[in-house]
Structure 1
Amino acid sequence: MDIVVLLASDSAETMLEALRASEVYFPELNARQAVQSGGSFNILHPQSGGKVDLFAVLASDAFTQSRIARRVRAQVLGVEAWIATPEDVVLAKLRWRLDSRSETQWRDCVEIAAVNDLDRDYMQKWAPELGVETDLADLLDG
């Protein structure tokens, strides 16, 4: 499961303290780097074997501001939460995989595109700024 957390600069330490006090394992150095400069780290729950990939996103860039403005309220496992639109999830995953070329991120994008009527104009507007034009074209034309 992927979870994206939008962090204000003064909330990073509070989040790390909450994780330390919980029953999960996480690599503290990786987590600290991720929450300070944006990035990801894993959280493991030893009792259940569950694993969450947590992506820390800083609120400073225009794309993040757009994602915040477009988010929607939804019930997730019985809890009301704000979730990103499918378009924003796909764009973020394409951006995250620029360096890694992760097949997992790509498969996620393909699956999201297969079950949603995506706003192509919105996505094509952001693709050049995010550096994902080629991957987005492959996804939308595939």
Structure 2
Amino acid sequence: MAANSLLELLAHVTQALEDTGAVYAVTGSVASSIHGEPVTSMDVDIVADLSADQGAKLARSVSGRLYADADMLRRAAIEHSMANLIDPASGYKVDISVLKQTPYHAQVLQRRVRIMHPDGKASFWVVSPEDTILMKLAWRKESRSQKQWANALSVARVQKNRLDWAYLRKWAGELGVEQDLDELMREAGV
């Protein structure tokens, strides 16, 4: 059975991750849409603390519905890299990035927030608004992508009165995006 929508795919994969016992959080465009203004996307980005055994279990869990390479998931867990799950019917893709063991990445998973799925039947974990901004700025630093900047700015504008700016400043310095954060704050009117 193929996923009929990106949200259905999100619910299926996050439930499968929870069934493995992996700690995860949705990030990327989905997180930007939740914390900022909606954006369209053909994929779901997830960060996870995933063991090799959990990666293999995840592949088995979703394999009847999605293309999932168990070896790729195991390797991603061991190497702290990325693996994909693909819905062949829709072309939607889930990118699972296994987090490196750094103080910042530990914070990302500690600060994640539980969000109710729009159908009201399930919920899933998503990175905090602050970490959505920091991740977008870090990805922008690597790619110089205007899309990453626009998504970060959208979250900053929508959430500006609720953001933990001390947390943002601390980790922006650690991630080497402090100048980008300063520019973002100016553009967001903070």
Unaligned runs of 5+ in 1: none
CA distance in 1, matches of 2:83, 2:150: 20
Structure 1 counterpart of 2:149, which letter?
Answer: W
Equivalent residue number for residue 115 of structure 2: 74
RMSD of the alignment, in Å?
2.7
- Which of the residues 176, 181, 185 maps onto 1:131? 176
Equivalent residue number for residue 122 of structure 1: 167
Cα deviation for residue 55 of structure 1 reads 3.9
Question: Compared with structure 1, are the counterparts of its residues 138 and 33 closer, same or farther at alpha carbon in structure 2 (3 Å cutoff)?
Answer: farther
CA distance in 2, matches of 1:105, 1:32: 29
1:87 counterpart = 2:143: no
Equivalent residue number for residue 140 of structure 1: 185
Equivalent residue number for residue 44 of structure 2: 2
1:15-38 superposed Cα distances (whole Å, 9 cap, x missing partner) = 34445x143346889766654434
- Which of the residues 47, 56, 65 maps onto 2:106? 65
Unaligned runs of 5+ in 2: 1-42
| TM score, norm. by length of structure 2 | 0.60
Cα deviation for residue 43 of structure 1 reads 4.1
Q: Which has the higher contact order (CA 8 A, sep 6+)?
A: 2
Cα deviation for residue 5 of structure 1 reads 3.0
Question: Compared with structure 1, are the counterparts of its residues 24 and 93 closer, same or farther at alpha carbon in structure 2 (3 Å cutoff)?
Answer: same
Which one is further off, 91-100 or 22-31? Answer: 22-31
Equivalent residue number for residue 48 of structure 1: 90
CA distance in 1, matches of 2:145, 2:75: 21
Cα deviation for residue 101 of structure 1 reads 1.8
Cα deviation for residue 105 of structure 1 reads 1.8
Secondary structure of 2:123's aligned partner? strand
Structure 2 counterpart of 1:105, which letter?
Answer: Q
Q: How many aligned residue pairs are there?
A: 140
Structure 1 counterpart of 2:104, which letter?
Answer: F
1:12 counterpart = 2:55: yes
Question: Compared with structure 1, are the counterparts of its residues 43 and 8 closer, same or farther at alpha carbon in structure 2 (3 Å cutoff)?
Answer: closer
Higher strand share: 1
Structure 2 counterpart of 1:60, which letter?
Answer: Q
| TM score, norm. by length of structure 1 | 0.76
Structure 1 counterpart of 2:97, which letter?
Answer: A
Equivalent residue number for residue 14 of structure 2: none
Equivalent residue number for residue 100 of structure 1: 143
Identity over aligned pairs, percent: 34
